[in-house]
Amino acid sequence: MNLSFFDQFSSPYLLGMPLILPSLLLPTLLLPSPGRRWVNNRLSTIQLWFIHLITKQLMTPLNKAGHKWALLLTSLILMLLSINLLGLLPYTFTPTTQLSMNMALAFPLWLATLLTGLRNQPSTSLGHLLPEGTPTPLIPALIMIETTSLLIRPLALGVRLTANLTAGHLLIQLISTATITLLPMMPSISALTTIILFLLTILEVAVAMIQAYVFVLLLSLYLQENI
C-alpha cells in the first residue's frame, strides 16, 4: 500500500520510452495559434492579459538590462503553471514532482544570473559575499557562510517546488483512498472526507499557481542582484 502511493511519481513508459517529454510538450497545445488578427477571440484576450500581468510583475523590480530576460521568465512561469495544474487532473503525470527536472531548470538559470553579474559588475557581485562594516576576525567565517548560502540557492529552488507538489499529491491520494475505504462502512465519515478532499484540491490548485510564481520570482530577484 505504501509503495502504491509513490507510484504516481514514477515516470510512465510506453513501448520502453519515457513519456515525460510528451507531458512537457503538451501544455504548448493550450497556447493560441498565431493568426492574421492580434486578438482572435475572448480566450486569446484573457491569455494576453494574463501574460502581460505576469511580465509586468516580474519585470517591475528590474532595470532595462534585465528586461532582456522577460521572454525567458514569462515562458518559464507559463510552462510551470501549465504543468502543475495539468498534473492535478486524474490519470496524469506531473514532471515537476521530479527533483531531477526541477534542478535541471533551477541550476542553469541560477548559474546564468551569477555569470551575468560576474561579467558585468564583478566587484558588486563579489561584494555580496562580505557585508560592509564586518569586523576583521569574522571576515573568513562570513565569506564561507555567504558562499554556502549562494551555492545552495539552486538546490533550494528545486527542493521547494518538488516538496510542495509531492506533499500535496500524497495528501490528495491518502484522503481519496480513505474516502473510498470508508464509503461502505461509514458513509457519514466518507462524506466528511469528501468535503475535505474537495477543499484540499482547491488548496492544491492555489499551491500549484503560487509555487510556479515563487520559482520564477526568486530567479528574477537573483537576477536583480547581478545587474
pLDDT of the residue at 205: 93
For cell 516538496, the residue is 163
Q: Which cell goes with 128? A: 555580496
d(CA 198, CA 191): 11
For cell 557581485, the residue is 125
Q: Which residues fall within 8 angstroms of residue 7, CB to CB, at 6 or more apart?
A: none
CB 166 within 8 A of CB 224: no
d(CA 29, CA 20): 16
Average pLDDT over every residue of 95-100: 87
H helices present in the chain, as ranges: 2-5, 20-25, 42-59, 70-86, 99-120, 122-127, 139-151, 153-182, 187-225
Per-residue pLDDT at 207 exceeds 90: yes
Using a CB cutoff of 8 Å and minimum separation of 24, what contacts does 120-126 make?
Answer: 120/65, 120/226, 120/227, 121/226, 121/227, 125/225, 125/226
Per-residue pLDDT at 16 exceeds 80: no
pLDDT-above-70 percentage for the chain = 82
pLDDT of the residue at 91: 72
CB 9 within 8 A of CB 92: no
pLDDT of the residue at 37: 66
d(CA 141, CA 109): 28
Give the tens place of pLDDT for each residue, 144-155.
888 888 889 999
Angle at 32 between CA 18 and CA 162, to 5 degrees: 40
Task: Classify residue 22 by its DSSP letter.
Answer: H
- What is the Cβ-side half-sphere exposure of residue 44, based on CA atoms within 13 angstroms? 9
**More reliable by pLDDT, 129 or 168:** 168
Mean pLDDT of the chain: 81
- pLDDT interval class at 2 (50, 70, 90): very low
Largest Cα–Cα separation, the chain? 71
Q: Which cell goes with 123? A: 566587484
d(CA 88, CA 84): 7
Give the least confident one: 47-51, 147-151, 181-185, 195-199.
47-51
d(CA 166, CA 181): 22
pLDDT of the residue at 3: 47
Distances from the Cα of 138 to the Cα of 101, 127, 133, 145, 218, angstroms: 38, 15, 11, 11, 28
